[in-house]
Amino acid sequence: MEIHGHADAPPLLYLHGGPGESCYEFMLHQTHRLSKKLRLIAIDQRGVWRSDAVEEDEPLSLQDLVEDCEALRKQLAFLGGLF
């Protein structure tokens, strides 16, 4: 996970395309510009690049990714009210 920008700025969660893509390129090229006005948050989705691998027989659905984002939202809210 990467977080850039002022803690009081409105949060923006960037979700990359996939499968197989990551948030790296977006963050490399957009962080400086967007973090001036937004709290930019980016994650590599489950099984992609910097996240834990998904085992071959492990199920992975869109609902799993939605639940991952909700868990992240709750964690960030707990840590400082980002969401």
pLDDT(74) > 60:
yes
Phi first, then psi, for residue 16 (nearest 5°) are -75, 165
Give the domain range for residue 11: 2-80
pLDDT digits (tens, 9 = 90+) for 7-23: 889 999 998 887 678 89
> Considering the entire predicted model, what is its pTM?
0.79
Q: What's the mean pLDDT when you consider all of the chain?
A: 87
Q: List the structure tokens of 67.
A: 């639940």
pLDDT-derived band at 4 (thresholds 50, 70, 90) equals: very high
The pLDDT value recorded for residue 81 is 58
What is the number of structural domains in the chain? 1
Residue 35: partners with Cβ closer than 8 Å, 6 or more residues away:
4, 5, 6, 9
Q: What percent of the chain has pLDDT over 90?
A: 42
